[in-house]
Chain A
Amino acid sequence: MRVLDGIPAFALLAIACASAPAPAPAQAPRIVQPGAPGQASREITVAEATDTSGVRHTDADVRFMQGMIGHHAQALEMVALVSTHSRSDDLRRLALRIEVSQADEMQMMRQWLGRRGEPLPDAHAHHTAHGRMPGMLTAAQMAQLAAARGPAFDRLFLEGMIQHHQGALTMVEALFKSSGGGQEPEMFDFASDVEADQAMEIARMRAMLEESTK
């Protein structure tokens, strides 16, 4: 049951419903495109104004999204070990945060690809050498992590996840270094968010590592 903050019931009688004026038809605009600083502005057509052909997604964008899904999948595999392998509350909380944000981003990446009719990566692609992205842990590193317990596990986990996240930063850097990559507005925003989020988690994990070796 929801109660309005401090608004008495009788006040709700004053609600005007559907009294909105009909939307005014869009007015025929004078569309102006300025030039570079100091240059003249010019009138352009609607077709020119709505030409998005130069900022559509590129192969580099698709490869980034496909690769990052596999990349995130490995992070989730690492996180899955924490509840049984670690005794640290701080690490468990960190792992939960990583799980939430990486799962959320994976969902966004799948949507991004799906809406554009681009293929999703093979669910196990990240286990193959071909699917390996920068920073991903090798099979040997994953086995070593799975075998460790307690403080030894915590250290390996933090080192491994820092390496893993740095790989994601490398991927973002590579995207923006590619021809035409990250021009689509949604792509730009997503890659910027990944960069900010992973950089923040790296800083957090470095601090935890320093703390644990004191």
Chain B
Amino acid sequence: MTRLVGAVAAAALVVSLASSAGAQTVAPTPAPDPRVGLKAGVRDAGVAARGLELRATLAKPDGFFDPKYPAGEPNPRVTAESEDAAAVDSAAKSTKGKKAGRAKRPARPAWGGLNFANSDLAFSGNHLFVGNFSGFTVYDISSPDKPTLLSAVVCPGGQGDVSVHGNLLFMSVEQTRGRLDCGVRGVEDPVSKDRFRGVRIFDISNVKTPKQVAAVQTCRGSHTHTLVTDPKDPAHVYVYGSGTAGARSAEELEGCSGKDPKEDPQTALFSIDVIEVPLARPQDAKVVARPRIFADEKTGNIAGLWAGGDHGEGTQKTAATNQCHDITVYPAVGLAAGACSGNGILLDISNPVAPKRLDYVSDKNFAYWHSATFNNDGTKVVFTDEWGGGMRPRCQASDQRNWGANAIFDIVDRKLVFRSYHKLPAAQTETENCVAHNGSLVPVPGRDLMVQGWYQGGISVMDFTDSANPREVAFFDRGPLDAKNLITGGYWSAYWYNGRIYGSEMSRGLDVFTLNPTDLLTQHEIDAASRVRSNAFNVQHQDTVSWPADRVVALAYVDQLARGGAIPADRTAMLRAAVTDGDAAQLSMVAGRLDERAAALTGPDATRMKALAQLLTSIK
């Protein structure tokens, strides 16, 4: 029933430079990766970078870290001694004999390693919203290298994924501690009207004082969510809520059940929540559908996809598909890619309320399908595998290179076709939680680039223009937060927005980067990416990027054609000069020649040359 992806990992992992960069062939010489062996520290860790320059770093504000553990809390390895010590220490205060009933809370400090961790990012105009397990913070980024804090909003209840649409901010709440009134002290009663699990909606027209306008309750809460717009209906937006925890009882929220579908066909498992938000009256937002997107087409069994477990001897154990972890929509092409625990799925969302599954894949090296990113043409999807849930050190030298990695698929006739894996190339230590995590496209014309957070593995920029041969083109990494203990931290997300890369570091705070030119990325390519200006950005909602008819965009293509050898080295200078200074007539003549030459080429260089020719005729 389920189709397995063939393992072609090894071939994809060793990328020959010669095959993709002909003219500049240099035999790769083994060199130690500068990311290996970096000094540990919270504020004074060693740093290694290539093609990424840190321009600003802002610690989390007061109120968003535990004063006792500003970096997060250490997870000490348990030794025999510390176990004994704990046992002796607590022998005197045995829990025996205490009455059940009202919760008894020990007087010692709380130990919740994630209470104040930063999480996902969303952008709107000059405002950056940084999600946090305790709420979210708002920064003014009109001077992107000097962000200023506008407000810190306290409203805990889980990882606090954020999305923005106009004056509305959406936030995910999953944990049972979440309260309708944004209170920090949890909900004691197992069944309570005060509890909130679902998607909150805030009015942010005054970003200094956001106001909660709606709180849409769902059975499993919302681990993540995706903003969905309907090109045909500007009066509404939709939110796809994905819950990954257990369902609550019908006693607390009518109609909820977490039962096996055989026992209860109405179970809240095996679905996503579709929330409809009338933009004129967001307070009326409600769940309008729970589509069964994992159903078997033939039998109708709602548990129709991966049932959980391994794929045979020596394979990964993959989680069961009764949820999506994250869904990325691309409304302009009518598609969504769901990273749904045990499967990657492709959905037709031309009717956002009734997403229809087009295809699904499984993978014997994936533990947990976590997130998805389309390329700009909508012809590829990068899925990530969050092996170890993000808390474990899964980038060690001993870890399999195709576990906890990206998997790159082409979309062929609306079906997913596996091409390759790509994993952070530098080995990390056992005190660095590390696995593939959230990223966005970097809009360099003519190439498919994605910047991505790898928790304490740092930030890495991947080129997947050739989906069978992805390669790293830039990176930034710090040493571990602590040399001896694994403190959960690192980059949750790293996203491009209007010329900068913003990194949400769970414990160290917010980082801002520029891309710097290297032999793998030129200044023209970076400048061309920076010409793309967005009014807003939510990473799970992709919009088509287009580039202005601008000489710098043309020069980016010229650089790429020179790099790939499509333009002979002795002609490059001439072409650059013509593109830089030529008048309309000259540009039009050059365009004609390029069109002729492009006809003889294939692959990305043919596409680039045609795009360049087209562009030259439009430059004023």
Contact = CB atoms under 8 A, between A and B. Distances in A.
Given A19-B53, A113-B86, A185-B133, 5 more contacts: A3-B14, A32-B210, A50-B66, A53-B110, A55-B112
B336 to A, nearest CB: 23
A56 B152 contact: no
Interface in A1-59: 1-12, 14-21, 23-41, 44, 46, 48-59
B49 A15 contact: yes
Contacts, number: 363
Nearest to B50: A15
A5 B33 CA distance: 11
Interface stretch (A78-86, A147-155, A170-178): A170-178
A12 B112 contact: no
Nearest to A200: B308
B62 interface: yes
Given A40-B211, A53-B105, A1 B86 contact: no
Nearest to A3: B30
Contact of B49 (A5, A16, A35): A16
B518 interface: yes
A197 to B, nearest CB: 8
B29 interface: yes
Contacts of B28: 3-4, 6-9
Contacts of B154: 31-33, 44, 48-49
Nearest to A173: B246
A195 B309 CA distance: 15
B86 A38 contact: no
A60 B308 contact: no
21 contacts: A3-B30, A4-B33, A4-B426, A5-B422, A6-B15, A6-B471, A11-B519, A23-B57, A27-B58, A29-B64, A34-B212, A37-B215, A54-B105, A54-B177, A54-B183, A57-B106, A58-B105, A59-B98, A120-B86, A189-B114, A196-B319
Contacts of B309: 94, 97, 200-201, 204
Contact of A186 (B61, B108, B114): B114
Interface residues of B, number: 133
Interface stretch (B74-82, B350-358, B575-583): B74-82
Most buried by B among A7, A8, A21: A7
A119 B56 CA distance: 45
Interface in A105-155: 107, 110-111, 113-120
Interface of B, helix, strand, loop or mixed by DSSP: loop
A23 B189 contact: no
A9 B29 contact: yes
A38 B200 CA distance: 12
A176 to B, nearest CB: 6
Given A97-B310, A176-B176, A185-B115, A21 B57 contact: yes
Interface stretch (B87-95, B121-129, B375-383, B586-594): B87-95
B48 A51 contact: no
B150 A203 contact: no
Given A9-B29, A180-B105, A32 B13 contact: no
B214 A1 contact: no
Interface of A: 1-12, 14-21, 23-41, 44, 46, 48-60, 62-63, 89, 93-94, 97, 101, 107, 110-111, 113-120, 172, 176-186, 188-189, 192-193, 195-196, 199-201, 203-204, 207
A5 B114 CA distance: 33
A180 B98 CA distance: 15
B184 A52 contact: yes
Contact of A11 (B50, B106, B137, B308): B50
A75 B111 CA distance: 29
A179 B103 contact: yes
Nearest to B175: A188
A54 B186 contact: yes
B364 interface: no
A119 B91 contact: yes
A82 B406 CA distance: 35
A201 B303 CA distance: 15
A57 B211 contact: no
B310 A2 contact: no
Interface string B43-58: 1001111110111111
Contacts of B49: 15-17, 19
A15 B34 contact: yes
B100 A195 contact: no
Pairs of residues from A and B, 5 with the lowest C-beta to C-beta distance, nearest first: A54-B185, A180-B103, A200-B308, A49-B63, A9-B29
A170 B235 CA distance: 45
B106 A56 contact: yes
Contacts of A30: 150-152, 208
A8 B13 CA distance: 15
Given A26-B62, A29-B62, A49-B134, A56 B177 contact: no
B186 A116 contact: no
A60 B189 CA distance: 13
Most buried by B among A44, A53, A59, A110: A59
B472 A200 contact: no
A19 B52 CA distance: 11
A15 B90 contact: no
A194 to B, nearest CB: 10
A59 B31 contact: no
A77 B227 CA distance: 48
A52 B112 contact: yes
Given A34-B210, A113-B86, A21 B54 contact: yes
A97 B313 CA distance: 11
B245 interface: yes
Interface in B141-199: 148-155, 158, 175-177, 180-190
B15 A24 contact: no
Contacts of B202: 34
B397 interface: yes
Contact of A183 (B86, B186, B213): B186
B411 interface: no
Given A6-B20, A116-B106, A180-B103, A33 B54 contact: no
